[in-house]
Structure 1
């Protein structure tokens, strides 16, 4: 095992986790202080032609075949819902990178096939699985609420957005953690019998 490469990867991963955390804070603060329009994409009127008869709220402009809605002077709730599509993924990315950095540090301290590493891998896997679903649900609900606040007649329920393939990657990490844990216990049993 190349410890220099693993140590460098752990450092880079930790730095990326910190950068994602700073982006999370910076995006939240700057966006809430911004006084510009809030825009959202919707597929509800994908085939509709732009006209003055679209059922949208006052102060909302529709563009792009009525798939992009923009609210001038949005409310605090609309601005927060606009952030709901971005912030959950930044927080998820920061925490996932932090957990991965901890996993690599455990590999450096104790070696790759230990109980601590298998536990860290399982924790990372469960976090990626649950975090993907939770971040996707928050982002989907925020977008649905934002569309509903601009076009009250659009009755779309909350959806889960984002890369759902991460759920499979998380479950694979959980399974690999369990396999590694069994391997560690088998090795201990084998060393005890010799």
Structure 2
């Protein structure tokens, strides 16, 4: 298995270190927020990027041939629990997807180093990472778009919560989806390699 471990470097070490750092930062941030009693005491803001104005904002001068657009940004200085929840749901799912995805990738790399790269278990773990990234990125983006749209509707008088508002807040996660599809493809290739090796070993 030594050769398999070498093949997985430096990715295995980088993922392990980054995962530990993210978990430490998340834990420290939560502990500090609770200790200071500042949980939920911050202002909640949302920008409506679908509503732009060509009126030049004061203090911002554009070069000749360029234009400055104004984008309205709504803030609640004393947000209630509902607004704080919507604000958290507009970013937190992405962070959770990142940490959970890194954890699954860490498990895949550790398992591949321990059991070997060309095994059925390794292919299954790689397929799980691919599906998690593919489906998770879509679910997270839809959830965050709905949360941002609901937050905007709660803070802006002339904006309502609708499918159009959600679509304006939604961005298709191209890179995550393509990466997930790539991982699923490599998992299938690995599975086929495992089957071929088992057939060859049976012949020998």
For the criterion TM > 0.5, the same-fold answer is yes
Are residues 1:102 and 2:104 paired? no
Partner of residue 192, structure 2: 182
Partner of residue 36, structure 1: 42
Partner of residue 165, structure 2: 157
Q: Is the 8 A contact 1:46 1:65 kept in 2?
A: yes
Partner of residue 169, structure 1: 179
Q: TM-score, normalised by structure 2?
A: 0.76
- Whole-angstrom CA distance in 2 between matches of 1:8 and 1:66: 43
Partner of residue 201, structure 2: 191
Partner of residue 65, structure 1: 70
Local SS of the residue matching 1:154: coil
When residues 4 and 173 of structure 1 are mapped into structure 2, their CA distance, relative to the original with a 3 A threshold, is: closer
- Whole-angstrom CA distance in 2 between matches of 1:98 and 1:67: 38
Cα deviation code 1:51-108 (max 9, x no counterpart): xxxxxxxxxxxxx834211112112111111111221111001011011111111121
When residues 13 and 33 of structure 1 are mapped into structure 2, their CA distance, relative to the original with a 3 A threshold, is: same
Q: Is the 8 A contact 2:4 2:112 kept in 1?
A: no
Q: Is the 8 A contact 2:8 2:113 kept in 1?
A: yes
Cα deviation code 1:112-159 (max 9, x no counterpart): 111111111100000000110111111111111110001143144324
- Whole-angstrom CA distance in 2 between matches of 1:135 and 1:181: 29
Partner of residue 55, structure 1: none
Partner of residue 60, structure 1: none
Q: CA RMSD in A?
A: 2.7
Partner of residue 141, structure 1: 146
The aligned runs of 1:17-96 (5 Å cut-off) are: 17-24=19-26, 30=33, 33-47=39-53, 49=55, 65-96=70-101
Aligned residues: 181
Unaligned residue ranges in structure 2 (runs of 5+):
57-68
Q: Is the 8 A contact 1:92 1:131 kept in 2?
A: yes
Partner of residue 65, structure 2: none
Q: Is the 8 A contact 1:118 1:177 kept in 2?
A: yes
- Whole-angstrom CA distance in 2 between matches of 1:43 and 1:28: 30
Unaligned residue ranges in structure 1 (runs of 5+):
51-63
